[in-house]
């Protein structure tokens, strides 16, 4: 399942065009960084986070409504906590806690 999601994410990133190509080290991204990215980059990151925090045996379903809700919650949290690590901020949101 992770392979399918990784392939979908890679396709989204490639379609964004080489002019906007960048490398994002998820170990160092802060909430402030996340809120400063362009919309297509934040979408790709939220898709990656959703796949990263899924259980291996979860069904390969992308629920765009739930994904949008998680992205909104993450954006609110990040605007209130700009110095926090994005992965730390995302963990409880993406895991549904």
pLDDT tens, 63-74?
A: 999 999 999 999
Q: Which one has a higher pLDDT value, 24 or 33?
A: 33
List CB contacts of 67: < 8 A, sequence separation 6 or more: 46, 47, 50
Hey, what domains does the chain have and what are their CATH numbers? 2-94 (1.10.890.10)
Residue 41, by phi and psi: left (phi above 0), alpha (psi -120 to 50) or beta? alpha
Q: Which helix or strand (DSSP H or E) is residue 52 part of?
A: helix 39-52
Q: Is the pLDDT of residue 22 over 70?
A: yes
- Average pLDDT for residues 50-66, to the nearest whole number? 91
Between 45 and 13, residue with greater pLDDT: 45
What is the reported pLDDT for 19?
Answer: 46
């Amino acid at each position: 399942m992770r392979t399918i999601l990784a392939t979908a994410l890679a396709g989204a990133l490639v379609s964004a065009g080489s002019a906007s190509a960048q490398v994002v080290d998820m170990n160092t991204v802060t909430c402030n960084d996340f809120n400063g990215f362009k919309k297509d980059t934040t979408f790709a990151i939220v898709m990656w986070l959703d796949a990263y925090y899924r259980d291996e045996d979860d069904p390969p379903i992308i629920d765009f409504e739930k994904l949008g809700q998680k992205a909104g919650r993450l954006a609110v949290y990040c605007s209130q906590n700009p110095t926090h690590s994005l992965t730390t901020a995302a963990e409880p949101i993406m895991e549904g806690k």
